[in-house]
Structure 1
Amino acid sequence: MRAQRVTKPGRAAHRRVARRPGRGLRSGLAGALVAGLVMVALGLQDATPGPLAALLDSRTRPLADQQAVQQEAAAEPAPQATAPAAEPPPEPAQEQPEQQQPAATAEPERIGPVPPPLPSMPTGPVIRVAKGGSIADALAEAKPGDTVLVPGGTYPGGLDVEVDGAPGKPITIQAVPGEKVTITGGGGGNGLVSLDNRSWITMIGISVKGSGRHGIYAHRASNIVLRDCEVADSQDGGVVFLESKNIKVQRCDIHGNNARGTSASNEAMSFDHTENFEISFSTVHDNGEEGIDAKYESRNGRIFNNTVDGNRGPNIYIDSARDIEVFNNTVTNTTHESKAGIAIAVEDYSETRRAANIKVYNNVVRGNAGGGIGFWTESSGTFSGIQIINNTVVKNAKSDLKFDGGSFTGTNILRNNIFGSGSAGSFAADNNIFGAIDGILDGALKLIKGSKAAGAGNPEGAPAFDITGIKRGSRIDLGAYQVTVENTVANPTTALTGLVNEIQAATSQLTQGLVSAVLGSASRTPTDASGAQETVPEPVTPTAD
Structure 2
Amino acid sequence: MCRQKGFPFPCTSSSVTNVNPSILALLAACSIPTLAAGTIYYVAPPPLGSDDHPGSEEKPFATIARGLQALGPGDTLYLRDGIYRITEPIRIQTVGTEEAWITIAAHPGETALIDAAGSIPGSQRDIHRQGAITVTGAEYTRLHGLRVENSHRAGIMVTDPSRHITIERCFVRKTFKSGIAGWNVHHFKVLGNEVVEANTQLMRLYGSAARETPHEAVSIAGCVHFEVAYNHVHHCGKEGIDVKEVSRHGVVHNNYVHDLPRQGLYVDAWFGLLEDVEFHSNIVHDCEWGLALSVEGRESELRNIRIHHNVLYRTRGSGIYFGTWGGNGPRSDIRITNNTLWRNGSVEHWAGPTGSIDVRSTNTRNVLIANNIMRAGGAFDIATFLDPDDAAAWEEHGIVITHNLVEGVRDRTTEGIDGYGRVFVNPGLHALKGDPLFAQTAVGDFSLREGSPALGTGLDDPDLYRGESRYLGAVPPEQPVSGD
CA offsets 1:249-271 (integer angstroms, 9 cap, x no match): 11100110100276211111111
Q: 1:293 to 1:177 in 2, by over 3 A?
A: same
Q: Which residue in the other structure is 1:253 paired with?
A: 194
Q: Which residue in the other structure is 1:433 paired with?
A: 405
Q: Distance in 2 between matches of 1:449 and 1:243?
A: 48
Match of 1:184 among 99, 115, 122: 115
Match of 2:381 among 422, 427, 431: 422
Contact residue 237 and residue 257 of structure 1 kept, 8 A: yes
Q: Which residue in the other structure is 1:403 paired with?
A: 359
Q: 1:238 to 1:388 in 2, by over 3 A?
A: same
Q: 1:123 to 1:278 in 2, by over 3 A?
A: closer
| Mapped pair 1:223 → 2:164 | yes
Q: How does 1:258-337 map to 2 (within 5 A)?
A: 258-260=199-201, 263-320=212-269, 321-334=274-287
Q: Which residue in the other structure is 1:200 paired with?
A: 140
Contact residue 454 and residue 484 of structure 1 kept, 8 A: no
Q: Which residue in the other structure is 2:302 paired with?
A: 355
1:388 maps to a residue whose letter is I
User: How far off is 1:324 after superposition?
Assistant: 0.5
Task: Name structure 1 gaps, 5 residues minimum.
Answer: 1-109, 466-471, 486-545
Contact residue 476 and residue 484 of structure 1 kept, 8 A: no
Q: Distance in 2 between matches of 1:130 and 1:397?
A: 50
Q: 1:112 to 1:212 in 2, by over 3 A?
A: closer
Where 2:448 maps in the other structure, the secondary structure is coil
CA offsets 1:184-216 (integer angstroms, 9 cap, x no match): 122776210001222221001001111011111
The alignment covers a number of residue pairs equal to 362
2:183 maps to a residue whose letter is L
Match of 2:178 among 214, 237, 258: 237
Where is the strand percentage greater, Structure 1 or Structure 2? 2
Q: Distance in 2 between matches of 1:433 and 1:461?
A: 18
Contact residue 414 and residue 424 of structure 1 kept, 8 A: no
Match of 1:412 among 367, 373, 383: 367
User: How far off is 1:122 after superposition?
Assistant: 4.2
User: How far off is 1:430 after superposition?
Assistant: 1.5
Q: Which residue in the other structure is 1:105 paired with?
A: none
Match of 1:128 among 5, 29, 42: 42
Q: Which residue in the other structure is 2:31 paired with?
A: 118
Q: Distance in 2 between matches of 1:462 and 1:429?
A: 17
Q: 1:476 to 1:201 in 2, by over 3 A?
A: same
| Mapped pair 1:342 → 2:291 | yes
Where 1:446 maps in the other structure, the secondary structure is strand
User: How far off is 1:439 after superposition?
Assistant: 5.2
1:438 maps to a residue whose letter is D
Q: 1:310 to 1:462 in 2, by over 3 A?
A: farther
Q: Distance in 1 between matches of 2:63 and 2:291?
A: 41
Q: Which residue in the other structure is 1:63 paired with?
A: none
2:453 maps to a residue whose letter is K
Q: Distance in 2 between matches of 1:373 and 1:207?
A: 33
1:415 maps to a residue whose letter is A
Contact residue 36 and residue 75 of structure 2 kept, 8 A: no
- Normalised by the length of structure 2, the TM-score is 0.70
Q: Which residue in the other structure is 1:38 paired with?
A: none
2:31 maps to a residue whose letter is L
Q: 1:340 to 1:462 in 2, by over 3 A?
A: farther
Contact residue 105 and residue 146 of structure 2 kept, 8 A: yes
Where 1:377 maps in the other structure, the secondary structure is coil
Q: How does 1:71-150 map to 2 (within 5 A)?
A: 118-119=31-32, 122=35, 124=37, 125-132=39-46, 133-150=62-79
Q: Distance in 1 between matches of 2:359 and 2:373?
A: 17
Q: Distance in 1 between matches of 2:333 and 2:321?
A: 16
1:456 maps to a residue whose letter is T
User: How far off is 1:372 after superposition?
Assistant: 0.6
Contact residue 11 and residue 193 of structure 2 kept, 8 A: no
Q: 1:244 to 1:180 in 2, by over 3 A?
A: same
Where 1:385 maps in the other structure, the secondary structure is strand
Q: Distance in 2 between matches of 1:170 and 1:351?
A: 39
User: How far off is 1:135 after superposition?
Assistant: 1.4
Q: 1:145 to 1:293 in 2, by over 3 A?
A: same
Q: Which residue in the other structure is 1:528 paired with?
A: none
- Normalised by the length of structure 1, the TM-score is 0.63
Q: Distance in 2 between matches of 1:229 and 1:386?
A: 32
Identity of aligned pairs, percent? 27
User: How far off is 1:295 after superposition?
Assistant: 0.6
User: How far off is 1:325 after superposition?
Assistant: 0.3
CA RMSD, aligned part only? 2.4
| Mapped pair 1:373 → 2:320 | yes
1:154 maps to a residue whose letter is I
CA offsets 1:130-167 (integer angstroms, 9 cap, x no match): 44311110110111110001111111114111322222
Where 2:316 maps in the other structure, the secondary structure is coil
Contact residue 319 and residue 344 of structure 2 kept, 8 A: yes
Where 2:65 maps in the other structure, the secondary structure is helix
Where 1:412 maps in the other structure, the secondary structure is strand
Contact residue 255 and residue 283 of structure 2 kept, 8 A: yes
Where 1:140 maps in the other structure, the secondary structure is helix
Contact residue 435 and residue 452 of structure 2 kept, 8 A: no
Contact residue 306 and residue 336 of structure 2 kept, 8 A: yes
Task: Name structure 2 gaps, 5 residues minimum.
Answer: 1-5, 13-29, 47-61, 122-126, 202-208, 347-354, 387-398, 409-433, 480-484
1:333 maps to a residue whose letter is D
Q: Distance in 2 between matches of 1:341 and 1:114?
A: 18
Q: Distance in 2 between matches of 1:187 and 1:403?
A: 44
Q: How does 1:378-527 map to 2 (within 5 A)?
A: 378=325, 379-398=327-346, 399-409=355-365, 411-420=366-375, 421-423=380-382, 425=384, 427-435=399-407, 438=435, 440-443=437-440, 444-460=445-461, 462-465=463-466, 472-473=467-468, 475-483=469-477
Q: Distance in 2 between matches of 1:367 and 1:389?
A: 19
Q: Distance in 1 between matches of 2:143 and 2:472?
A: 39
Q: Distance in 2 between matches of 1:113 and 1:255?
A: 17
Q: Which residue in the other structure is 1:210 paired with?
A: 150
Contact residue 390 and residue 462 of structure 1 kept, 8 A: no
Q: Distance in 2 between matches of 1:121 and 1:439?
A: 44
